[in-house]
């Protein structure tokens, strides 16, 4: 697998921002009342991710380190404004459905997290693929969650009636606010049941999350290598300290023995 394909696989499967990293929960819970809304929010976020990652990486040697976060926010906000104006002009119904959550893409932790953890340290093209992978993973997660809620709550998918569910009585609560928590809990429970790696499944031997679910300090598998390196350094330091103490004890015992012989 080449490095570009690896970036796509990483974002969609290995470190899916919703189902594995458990990031971006605000739009995930708020807008997924239907598959259409989930798809729209996911694609809007994907466009911002790709464009902002590319530009941040392009300017990474120009942006001063001390003001990088404000610079990231300005870049992301510029692209979000462009995307919002396009949605307002060409998809007014989607704009009405998503409402305030389109401008809130600016502070989405997935976008700022990838800018800080990846785009600021890698080449523009690789950063764009990283943003595309994360965006596709986020889009897939929102669409799946929205489709499940819409199917159970309204008996439709993408606003299309399902023929074999003609006698199905929809559970309206699933397209209301509590339904988002119910469905996310169900999907997370299934994930943990099948031991799929995620921030909520810390006991799994397959998990690649070195932070063990501590999302506040986690940036994904990139932290695993650092974590292992730190642990190795600690072990080497402890071993060196034990060896030093042992040598000191042996020298002390030898000096004591020589003194008693004299």
Residue 123 and residue 60 in contact, taking contact as beta carbons nearer than 8 Å: no
Residue 42 and residue 131 in contact, taking contact as beta carbons nearer than 8 Å: no
Higher pLDDT among residues 162 and 82, named by residue: 82
Helix axes 124-154, 35-58, angle to 10 degrees: 170
Cβ neighbours around 151 below 10 Å, total: 19
Joined tokens for residue 171: 């559970």
The C-alpha atoms of residue 214 and residue 207 are separated, in whole angstroms, by 13
Residue 138, pLDDT > 90, answer yes
Residue 223, pLDDT > 60, answer no
Query: Tens of pLDDT along 74-121?
Result: 999 999 999 999 999 999 999 998 989 999 999 888 999 999 989 999
Task: Note the pLDDT of residue 41.
Answer: 95
User: E strand or H helix at 161, and its extent?
Assistant: strand 160-161
Q: Which residues pair with 156 in a beta bridge?
A: 161
């Amino acid at each position: 697998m080449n490095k570009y394909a690896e970036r796509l696989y990483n974002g969609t499967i290995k470190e899916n921002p919703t189902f594995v990293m458990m990031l971006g929960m605000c739009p995930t819970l708020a807008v997924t009342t239907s598959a259409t809304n989930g798809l729209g929010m996911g694609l809007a976020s994907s466009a911002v991710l790709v464009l902002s990652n590319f530009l941040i990486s392009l300017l990474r040697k120009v942006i001063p380190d001390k003001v990088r976060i404000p610079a990231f926010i300005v870049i992301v906000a510029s692209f979000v404004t462009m995307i919002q104006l396009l949605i307002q002009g060409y998809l007014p119904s989607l704009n009405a459905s998503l409402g305030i959550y389109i401008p809130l893409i600016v502070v989405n932790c997935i976008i700022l997290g990838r800018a800080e953890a990846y785009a600021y340290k890698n080449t523009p093209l690789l950063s764009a693929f990283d943003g595309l992978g994360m965006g596709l993973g986020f889009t897939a997660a929102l669409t799946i969650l929205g489709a499940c809620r819409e199917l159970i709550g309204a008996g439709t998918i993408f606003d299309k009636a399902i023929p074999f569910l003609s006698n199905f009585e929809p559970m309206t609560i699933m397209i209301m606010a509590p339904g988002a928590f119910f469905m996310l809990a169900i999907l997370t429970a299934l994930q943990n049941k099948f031991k799929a790696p995620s921030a909520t499944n810390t006991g799994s031997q397959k998990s690649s999350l070195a932070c063990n679910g501590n999302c506040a300090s986690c940036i994904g598998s990139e932290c695993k290598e650092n974590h292992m390196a730190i642990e190795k350094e600690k072990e080497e330091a402890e071993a060196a300290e034990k060896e030093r103490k042992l040598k000191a004890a042996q020298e002390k015992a030898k000096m004591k023995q020589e003194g008693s012989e004299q």
